[in-house]
Amino acid sequence: MTAVKICGLTRAEDVTAAVALGAAILGFNFVESSPRRISWSHARELAAAIPSGIPRAGIFAEGPRSDIARAIAEAGLQIVQVHRSLTREDVEELEAAVIPAVRVEAGRAGLPPAEVLTKCRALLWDSSGGRGREPDWTLVEEAGPLPVPVFLAGGLDPDNVGDVIRRLRPAGVDVASGVERAPGIKDRGKLERFFQAVREADRG
């Protein structure tokens, strides 16, 4: 199955639902401007119910590497998703796998240097910034294959994720607002429909 990352989790019941439905990665948002932002301690509390085989990811924007390193320790993260320019020191010194987020509109020009990208867990094409805006997926097609797995984000929901998977065949998809009834509050019905759409696309 295409890996599904459920992002912007803020409630224990949503973590439980995402795990039960088969989420591959669970994401906690630490970006100051995000309505889904939670504290490191809250993330650790939520993570207590996550089986050991499902990695916990933290989402970061601007800020020093030292803050990310502290969050890894305080929140018990295995992955960091970084929405800023990525450096060799980030991937070599942070004690977690790194996923750089690159705006779809930037194309290959927005990618980290090859020697940095190849050390990453995956790459996330995203233009939404948590606002639920679907990008022009043609730009992802034009960017071509990459040396790491590709995740897609931006405006995905139960109604369009299947078409996007069939078109681009990514390693994974990342969703937050598309399965919510309010920022940070997931909707169980939308979550179920999203996972069902992913499974159907994989079969097709």
* Residue percentage of the chain with pLDDT more than 90: 92
Q: Give how many domains the chain has, as a whole number.
A: 1
What is the C-alpha separation between 53 and 158, in angstroms, rounded? 25
Please give the Cα distance from 90 to 156 (Å, whole number): 28
**Length of the chain (residues):** 204
Q: Residue 132's pLDDT band (boundaries 50, 70, 90)?
A: low
Smallest Cα–Cα separation from 165: which of 177, 151, 149?
151
Average pLDDT, the chain: 95
Helices within the chain (DSSP H only): 12-21, 40-47, 65-75, 88-93, 114-117, 138-143, 161-168, 188-203
Give the pLDDT score at 156: 96
Q: Which two tokens stand for residue 16?
A: 């439980």
CB count within 10 Å of CB 200 equals 13
**Predicted confidence (pLDDT) per residue in 78-111, tens digit:** 999 999 999 999 999 999 999 999 999 999 999 9
Looking up residue 163, the CATH number of its domain turns out to be 3.20.20.70
pLDDT value at residue 49: 86
Range of 153's domain?
3-203
- In this prediction the pTM is 0.95
Query: How much is the pLDDT for 127?
Result: 79
